[in-house]
Amino acid sequence: MTSTVPAVPDILSAEFAADPYTAYQVMREHHPLIWHEATQSYVISRYADVERAFKEAVFTSRNYDWQLEPVHGRTILQMDGREHSTHRNLVAPAFRGRDLMNKFVPVIEENSRVLIEAFRTDGEVDLVGQYATRFPINVIVDMLGLPKEDHGHFHRWYTSIMGFLSNLSGDEQVTAEGLRTKAEFEDYLVPIIRDRRANPGDDLLSTLCNAEIDGVRMSDEEIKAFCSLLLTAGGETTDKAIASVVLNLVANPEQLEAVRADHSLIAAAFAETLRFAPPVHMIMRQPSEDVELSGGVVEAGRTVTCLIGAANRDPAQYADPDRFDIFRPDLDQGRAYTAGANHTAFCLGRHFCVGAMLAKTELEIGIGQLLDAMGDIRFADGAPPPEYGVFTRAPQSLRLTFTPTR
């Protein structure tokens, strides 16, 4: 008896967008290396291959020269070797340890509290529109020490830049809007950067302007590019993660009640969400020489699309991978927010997300405050809403009913 090999899924198809997880299974089992003509890239889906692409030095981030630079400028993600380590060390201290806890935790707490207060007594909320999409962007704007009245501009810029980065089909209008946003953001921020160099304050932008290692400082353009990257990477990961964490917990009431009773489990719920339903499903790399992966050889200079969403549900890596379980023993909670994590949502190795601890802190504070304000949380429509997106993915709306608890 002969078996039929399933057709190769198309990552730009409507079927894939509706249900990528079924396609991921087909890819992992039957098509672990796919040449995708429309995006001019190889697509990989197995955990072992994605892990190699993130950790091994032969896989460079040269793809960001065309993927990110047109809309952000040249960022730390495009740097290698000493240049990368120096610039990472210039920005990293602000996102961990004492600076994060002392300077920015009060900013995070206040922004979350203000948003929750606006709907706390209503008994219903669209958590995406009224909280998740606003919270992390407002935090970043306040961390940078920028005017609160400019929050609206940043939401518009953020949406435009994410549209550019997610534009796998090459829509010319979306591309043009992203390029306009880059120019607007530069015109807005560069004069402020120059002023902060001359008149530093106690904000993140001043810290970036005056950070120095071995006589090296970031240029105005490098600071602007980092802030643009922070706006999108920090906002996108966190806003979609908040919605997905809450969705997954409400869909699993016993786990929701466990987290409600013990807020220290919020970090575990976030880590499992990063594995089960990551905010970003695709990250690209470009090998500097021919590399053999499952299914064949990738030639030097070709783009490799690494499917995070597929790797993080690989049964070769996790038991029962399609089940959400904050207590799963095969997800290393001790390393979940480090470069040694055994999930791929924040990348791995030298380009591990510099803002991972900021995202964790925002989630712990935000989810904790939400659970303190909302009892008996249920889906307003009686069932979890669908997810949307291919490059990034999360519910577009999360309508909940709840009982105000205070």
| Residue 380 falls inside a structural domain | no
What average pLDDT does the segment 355-371 reach? 92
Beta strands 124-126 and 399-404: pairing type? antiparallel
Beta strands 41-44 and 303-307: pairing type? parallel
- pLDDT tens-digit series, residues 301-345: 999 999 999 999 999 999 999 999 999 999 999 988 888 889 998
| Residue 406 falls inside a structural domain | no
- pLDDT tens-digit series, residues 211-241: 777 777 888 988 888 888 888 777 778 999 9
Split into its structural domains, the chain has a count of: 1
What average pLDDT does the segment 137-156 reach? 86
Residue 87 pLDDT grade (very low, low, confident, very high; cuts 50, 70, 90): low
Residue 94 pLDDT grade (very low, low, confident, very high; cuts 50, 70, 90): low
In terms of residue numbers, what domain contains 188?
Answer: 14-370
What average pLDDT does the segment 188-197 reach? 93
| Residue 403 falls inside a structural domain | no
| Residue 51 falls inside a structural domain | yes
pLDDT at 107 over 80: yes
What average pLDDT does the segment 20-38 reach? 97
pLDDT at 244: 97
pLDDT at 232: 79
Cα separation, 311 vs 321, whole angstroms: 10
Please name the residue that has the structure tokens 């304050």: 201
pLDDT at 65: 77
| Residue 121 falls inside a structural domain | yes
Q: Tell me the DSSP string of 138-184.
A: HHHHHHTT--GGGHHHHHHHHHHHHHHHT-TT--HHHHHHHHHHHHH
Q: Round to the nearest angstrom and report the end-to-end CA distance of the chain.
A: 65
6 DSSP assignment: P
| Residue 312 falls inside a structural domain | yes
Contact of 205 with 193, CB cutoff 8 Å: yes
Contact of 248 with 175, CB cutoff 8 Å: no
Q: What CATH number did the domain enclosing 273 receive?
A: 1.10.630.10
| Residue 398 falls inside a structural domain | no
The Cβ of residue 353 has, within 10 Å, a number of other Cβ atoms equal to 21
| Residue 340 falls inside a structural domain | yes
